[in-house]
Structure 1
């Protein structure tokens, strides 16, 4: 387990991180979400030892992380950090060797990742000749080539088309299923929603909430329901203790604090005619994010 415990960091008079604390559990994908400047990248760099904290601790399985432990990390920075004039496969092998793998292990891992990330045909190309999406795939391969036990990835989906996103999602899920704690940041909330088991939301340098995604859905929104009727659904706006969130002809999404009110709406809908569907409606991650940081 990777733990960030009461980490503070300032740059001059600007207090960037304020008692930041959260955990990344083994075998779980943790999404790290916040607006630009919220403190995500600074937190990740402190976890990796790229930056030092003014106070606080980074722990791995309960013990402070040292230089040797950080060799067990796989890190992908938001800015691309590969050598632009070096060939892709050669670079992966070089990086794996720096982490202590034998030449044979390095070559095997590099080849497997290039195939898994659909870059085999580009293995002999210089990094600078790749498209931005393929450069991103190569960067992800570089973070994984030494078989790290912990993954910390800053905006790994940036610049990827939908097919490439699915490929990378599959790779990260495989690492988590093998037991690795995986922490990744992303501005693409739809991807975070599809992928993450746990969610950490940071705003203005402070953690606003953290925990299992489904738990946060329950905690940060009233029960929601959606219904599709055989006629206009506008009458639902007149029901007491109901807040209509979306209304489009015969379709409505509404929020209410009690199940009894939801059942009342259903009875009224049945009295008015055909009910095609009626049931719970999960709030989106974007909605939760907006509610928490406002």
Structure 2
């Protein structure tokens, strides 16, 4: 039976729902019960190692692959060909025609989506200027740098004013300036109410840009939530700056994770109170800092994917 998330407020209309997707290639399980949703105006980061199932999931959403089980819904109904035409898709393997000029290619793609010639021309100008390739519209795609080809590929995903964006590794190979431009564009589309889902191995970027994150491993969703929600499900660690030496000796349920000079990171076991740790630190000397450790998404990812192993 297809299951959909029940944790989303009823005040929020779910736009893109992925429910219970399953897929096998021969005897290999590629996806098993993959379930998540992308809300209006939300940037959703879809992360996992190579072969974890990200691209397979996106191809099923686009109808490039057929699922063995589960369902994709858009605005509450099973997605059909008309719904898929409203998606802006950026594949990991870029799909541009190398010998076609940038402007001609984008206009052609816009016309395929039903845009009038004048509207298509206006959209080409708007998006190539916005993404910094306006001066290259007369060049063949193959004559562009890989970074500029990436920008044109994003133009192709945006050219028809899509109602949903599904982007597979859109930041791959971009320089920092191009990353900032793309980030601003995706955030701007989300601010217009467009749900945006993208995959990336750049977890620092995902943490900075995304409202929620979904982590997939071996074809299964192992965590979905905000970064803060993922942090709350992990172990409790505290950074203490002040006393040096072995000031934690005798504290039950406290493990020293790292100690560099007068900075100590400790992990609290179940039932251990942070005030007990603070009292022990103060007894050993002045305490200049005492704060919960906020692990970056990279560390949370390793912890979740390893099943909680240290």
TM-score tier after normalising by the smaller chain length: over 0.9
Q: 1:236 to 1:86 in 2, by over 3 A?
A: farther
Contact 2:123 2:159 in 1 (8 A): yes
Aligned to 2:10: none
The Cα offsets for residues 205-259 of structure 1, whole Å up to 9 and x where unpaired, read as 111122233212212x123322322x53653476332233332212222222479
The Cα offsets for residues 140-166 of structure 1, whole Å up to 9 and x where unpaired, read as 111111110001000011001122111
**In structure 2, C-alpha distance between the alignment counterparts of 1:283 and 1:118, rounded to whole Å:** 35
Q: 1:93 to 1:238 in 2, by over 3 A?
A: farther
**In structure 2, C-alpha distance between the alignment counterparts of 1:247 and 1:125, rounded to whole Å:** 56
Q: Tell me the TM-score normalised to structure 2 length.
A: 0.89
Is 1:240 aligned to residue 252 of structure 2? Answer: yes
Contact 1:224 1:283 in 2 (8 A): no
1:265 to 277, 286, 290: 277
**In structure 1, C-alpha distance between the alignment counterparts of 2:120 and 2:300, rounded to whole Å:** 42
Contact 2:247 2:284 in 1 (8 A): no
Aligned to 2:8: none
1:222 to 235, 251, 274: 235
Contact 1:241 1:261 in 2 (8 A): no
Q: 1:167 to 1:243 in 2, by over 3 A?
A: farther
Q: 1:227 to 1:115 in 2, by over 3 A?
A: farther
Is 1:113 aligned to residue 127 of structure 2? Answer: yes
Q: Tell me the TM-score normalised to structure 1 length.
A: 0.93
1:2-21 mapped onto 2 (5 Å cutoff):
2-21=16-35
1:151 to 151, 165, 168: 165
**In structure 2, C-alpha distance between the alignment counterparts of 1:159 and 1:245, rounded to whole Å:** 35
Contact 2:231 2:295 in 1 (8 A): yes
The Cα offsets for residues 27-64 of structure 1, whole Å up to 9 and x where unpaired, read as 11111111111111000000000111112111011100
**In structure 2, C-alpha distance between the alignment counterparts of 1:31 and 1:106, rounded to whole Å:** 30
Report the Cα offset of residue 273 of structure 1.
3.1
**In structure 1, C-alpha distance between the alignment counterparts of 2:271 and 2:195, rounded to whole Å:** 37
- Once structures 1 and 2 are overlaid, which stretch shifts more, 140-149 or 96-105? 96-105
1:75 to 77, 89, 93: 89
- Aligned-pair Cα RMSD in Å: 1.8
**In structure 2, C-alpha distance between the alignment counterparts of 1:31 and 1:273, rounded to whole Å:** 43
Structure 2, unpaired ranges of 5+: 1-14
Q: 1:94 to 1:236 in 2, by over 3 A?
A: farther
Aligned to 2:59: 45
1:20-39 mapped onto 2 (5 Å cutoff):
20-39=34-53
The Cα offsets for residues 250-285 of structure 1, whole Å up to 9 and x where unpaired, read as 222222247963222223333333333221221111
Contact 1:233 1:252 in 2 (8 A): no
Secondary structure, aligned partner of 1:274: coil
**In structure 1, C-alpha distance between the alignment counterparts of 2:264 and 2:149, rounded to whole Å:** 43
Report the Cα offset of residue 124 of structure 1.
2.0
- Once structures 1 and 2 are overlaid, which stretch shifts more, 269-278 or 8-17? 269-278
